[in-house]
Amino acid sequence: MLLTEMVSSLEYVPYWNKPKHQMTTQVNNSDLHFASVRELRSKFNKREISSSEVTKVTLDRIATLEPRLNTFITVTPENAIRDAKLADERLQGTGQEPTALTGVPVMVKDNFSTKDVPTTAASNILKGYIPPYDGTVVSLLKQAGAVILGKGNLDEFAMGSSNETSAFGPVHNPWDTERVPGGSSGGASAAVAAGQCFMAFGSDTGGSIRQPAAFCGVVGMKPTYGLVSRFGLLAFGSSLDQIGPLTRTVADCSDALNIISSHDHRDSTSVSAPFTDFGQELDIGIAEMNIGVPKEYLVEGIEPGVRSAFEASLKTLESLGANVSETSLPLTDHALAVYYIIAPSEASANLSRYDGVKYGLGFLNANNSAQATESARGEGFGDEVKRRILLGTYALSAGYYDAFYKKAQQVRTLIRREFTDSFLKFDALVTPTSPNVAFKIGGKINDPFQMYMNDVCTIPVNIAGLPSISVPGGMSEGLPVGLQFIGPQFGDTTVIRAAAAYERATNWHKNHPLI
Amino acid sequence: MNPLSKKDVEHIAKLAYIKLSKKETEDLRMQLSNILSHFASLSTVKTDGIEATGHTTDSNTVMRNDHPEQPLDQNDVLRNAPDRDGEFVRVRPVLE
């Protein structure tokens, strides 16, 4: 039976209308769910399947898997079915010219502002909040004809490395549901890995796209700071936050960036790309490319399985003709401290807007305005968010500003310089994305500093505002390992080139979890 | 550096407008002291005369022509307020 016949024979009943006992437990792991967006597009072009059909089967898959994975905070099936219908008109040539994402079912992380669709940042303080506007990336996705399925689970306000700080419960890693998917874009990475969407969009402040991509065996990229507008992204650390895609292939990643990257006057840090196509070097290979391996990233405590996967990846890069050599970035050891001063400081300022007046929890019986705000924030914010707001407040408070915040910003300058010098010699750097594979839910949540150590390989990149991509780079103990490429500022096309060459030479991206 | 005192935590919680329970105050005192102790190593990096980096790209003031643009729908904005009175958001007394 053709898939299209299978789909049309299904009477579509959304899962929220189904009695619990009728929920399907049988999972159909058909190739369609794990197709890349380019493969899906080819099926659209050959009329093998329509966007409406693929959207319906994807919504069904979400319904089947959500009780086990919890990747979505909000699913918007009516909107998705409506948008898929419009996309089909475009694909059939009766509407606007289709784009690379027309008709493609996608997820956006729930810290993206979406008009008329609840946006929570996984926080109790925003329960019930319905934005009056779309952020720039959401607008661009809608204009491109992408079908937004709903809002992805995340660590509260994107603060976390395991998705366990969400007020809506943890996300489970589809490779082993007792383990975390990484964070903070854990819903996004798990949904792409599990075939609940064809790509997802997350935000990365210290590794929040790349580390979960690594833990779930998918591709995740943080472009150069400024290339994607942050307008409508609920702000965490404004000088570090950057939006990017999580996908199944490097080509899909560059196609997605071509859609969402644009100069935006509503974001004062927005910059225009000095190139027209993120994928312009996709196919040219890495012969003679100079790739540096900064030894500080092979930290003490790196898991042996991650180390051996990484060493095997270096051999692959050499076999493709790259000149791979060791280098040193000594300030890497200070990056974690710099980050955990700057990010919480910026967060403490950004999150001061949540006062329970214009939106959020209101304490209508409080004696005065200050008490109402203190109660709203005391009840509305979870432990990790409180911890970071207080850490930032402390670092910015009288008497400590110079010792912490200013010092961190000065070391930030030195870290940037160290990278800049390194890129005089190397076209790209390569490191493991994380020193470990996905850990057990509950394993690190009670030790904040241990949790922060997860981001030791991804954080320096945000500090310097550089482009970086994580691709599936091996397996350890049955779990995916990520390989990270880092490029110079605006070297986005170079990291995509290196990642694509590595992907062509390996099969790791073809592994899918058996759910 | 010295660990934070209970008073320190209460002071920064007040600055941040966050009400904490006794247990939260004590947990945070220990956790923040531990985290801050890991930051002490920064003082070993020489930064005399080094400028601070705020943003990694130039951040410019954005100008636009002084033409009115379509504002957000008033009802869409006000629907989120916990306490609303017609076109107004109501707050608890600010001055007592």
CATH code assigned at A166:
3.90.1300.10
Interatomic CA distance for residues A34 and A32, integer angstroms: 5
Interatomic CA distance for residues B21 and A514, integer angstroms: 44
> What chain A residue is nearest to B75 in terms of C-alpha separation?
A132
- Give pLDDT, residue A6: 39
Interatomic CA distance for residues A431 and A419, integer angstroms: 14
How far is residue A418 from each of residues A158, A244, A334, A461, A464, measured CA to CA in Å?
28, 25, 12, 12, 10
User: Is A512 contained in some domain?
Assistant: no
Residues A230 and A296 reside in one and the same domain: no
Coil, strand, or helix at residue A208? coil
Handedness of CA A356, A359, A363, A364 (dihedral sign): positive
State how beta strands A468-476 and A219-222 pair.
antiparallel
Interchain CB distance below 8 Å, A371 and B62: no
At which of A260, A276, A304 does a domain end?
A260
Task: Give which of A80, A81, A66 is closest to A24, Cα–Cα.
Answer: A66
Residues A237 and A302 reside in one and the same domain: no
User: Is A230 contained in some domain?
Assistant: yes
Is A67:A126 a contact under the CB 8 Å cutoff?
no
Residues A248 and A388 reside in one and the same domain: no
Q: Which residue has the tokens 């994607």?
A: A228
Tokens of B96: 């007592």
Contacts of B81 in chain A (CB under 8 A): 357-359, 362
Contacts of B12 in chain A (CB under 8 A): 390, 393-394, 397
Contacts of A130 in chain B (CB under 8 A): 76, 79-80
Residues 6+ positions from B54 with CB-CB distance below 8 Å: A239, A409
Interatomic CA distance for residues A104 and A45, integer angstroms: 13
Q: Consecutive sets of 10 residues in chain A, 515 residues long: mean pLDDT of each?
A: 39 36 52 95 96 98 97 98 97 93 98 98 94 98 98 98 97 98 98 98 98 98 98 97 98 98 93 96 98 93 95 98 98 95 97 93 90 96 97 93 94 98 98 97 89 92 98 97 98 98 97 91
User: Is A73 contained in some domain?
Assistant: yes
The amino acid that residue B38 corresponds to is: H
Identify the burial level of A22 via C-beta atoms within 10 angstroms of its C-beta, where 0-12 means exposed, 13-18 middle and 19 or more buried: exposed
How far is residue A471 from each of residues A220, A308, A371, A433, A455, measured CA to CA in Å?
7, 16, 48, 9, 16
Interatomic CA distance for residues A419 and A481, integer angstroms: 24
Residues A361 and A250 reside in one and the same domain: no
Coil, strand, or helix at residue A40? helix
pTM of the model: 0.94
Instruction: Write out the E strands in B1-96.
Output: 84-85, 88-89
A109 is catalytic: yes
Q: Which phi and psi (to 5°) does residue A78 adopt?
A: -65, -45
User: Is A194 contained in some domain?
Assistant: yes
> What chain A residue is nearest to B17 in terms of C-alpha separation?
A374
Residues A297 and A248 reside in one and the same domain: no
Per the structure, the count of domains in chain A is 2
Residues A213 and A329 reside in one and the same domain: no
pLDDT tens for residues A204-225? 999 999 999 999 999 999 999 9
List helix spans (H) across A332-404: 332-350, 369-380, 383-396
> What chain B residue is nearest to A351 in terms of C-alpha separation?
B16
Is A112:A137 a contact under the CB 8 Å cutoff?
yes
User: Is A116 contained in some domain?
Assistant: yes
What is the DSSP code string of A136-149? HHHHHHHHHT-EEE
Interatomic CA distance for residues A123 and A96, integer angstroms: 38
- Best probe of the A interface among B11, B53, B62, B80, by most A CBs < 10 A, is B53
CA B50 distance to own-chain centroid:
26
Residues A218 and A359 reside in one and the same domain: no
Structural domain boundaries, residue A108: 3-260
Interatomic CA distance for residues A246 and A193, integer angstroms: 10
Q: Which residue has the tokens 């994107």?
A: A158
Is B94:A368 a contact under the CB 8 Å cutoff?
yes
Tokens of A116: 């008329």
Interface of A with B in 262-321 (CB under 8 A): 265-266, 268-269, 271
pLDDT tens for residues A305-327? 999 999 999 999 999 999 999 99
Residues A380 and A486 reside in one and the same domain: yes
Contacts of A407 in chain B (CB under 8 A): 42-43, 45, 47
Q: Which of B27-30's residues contact partners 24+ apart within 8 Å by CB, and which partners? A: B28/A386, B28/A387, B28/A390, B29/B3, B29/B4, B29/B5, B30/B3
Tokens of A327: 């280098």
Residues 6+ positions from A277 with CB-CB distance below 8 Å: A254, A258, A493
Coil, strand, or helix at residue A87? helix
Interface of A with B in 226-245 (CB under 8 A): 226, 239
Name the residue among A336, A358, A387 with its Cβ closest to that of B89: A358
User: Is A508 contained in some domain?
Assistant: no
Cis? peptide before A184, omega within 30° of 0 = yes
User: Is A238 contained in some domain?
Assistant: yes
Q: How many CB atoms sit inside 10 A of residue A90's CB?
A: 19
User: Is A159 contained in some domain?
Assistant: yes
Residues A206 and A310 reside in one and the same domain: no
At which of A260, A281, A311 does a domain end?
A260
Is A102:A92 a contact under the CB 8 Å cutoff?
no
Interchain CB distance below 8 Å, B82 and A352: no
Residues A326 and A474 reside in one and the same domain: yes
Interatomic CA distance for residues A50 and A44, integer angstroms: 6
Query: Which region, left, alpha or beta, applies to residue A47 given φ > 0 means left and ψ of -120 to 50 means alpha?
Result: left
Q: Name the stretches of chain B with pLDDT < 50.
A: none
Catalytic residue among A52, A113, A185, A208: A208
Largest separation between any pair of C-alpha atoms in chain A: 72
Reduce the secondary structure of A407-428 to three states and give it as a string: HHHHHHHHHHHHHHHHHHHCCE
**Residue B12 sits at the chain A interface (C-beta within 8 Å):** yes
A208 is catalytic: yes
Q: What letter does residue B33 receive in the DSSP assignment?
A: H
Residues A371 and A231 reside in one and the same domain: no
- Give pLDDT, residue B1: 67
Number of A to B CB contacts under 8 A, please give it: 177
* Packing angle of the helix pair A383-396, B22-39 (nearest 10 deg): 60
At which of A244, A260, A276 does a domain end?
A260
Q: How many CB atoms sit inside 10 A of residue A416's CB?
A: 19
Is A138:A110 a contact under the CB 8 Å cutoff?
no
Residues A73 and A148 reside in one and the same domain: yes
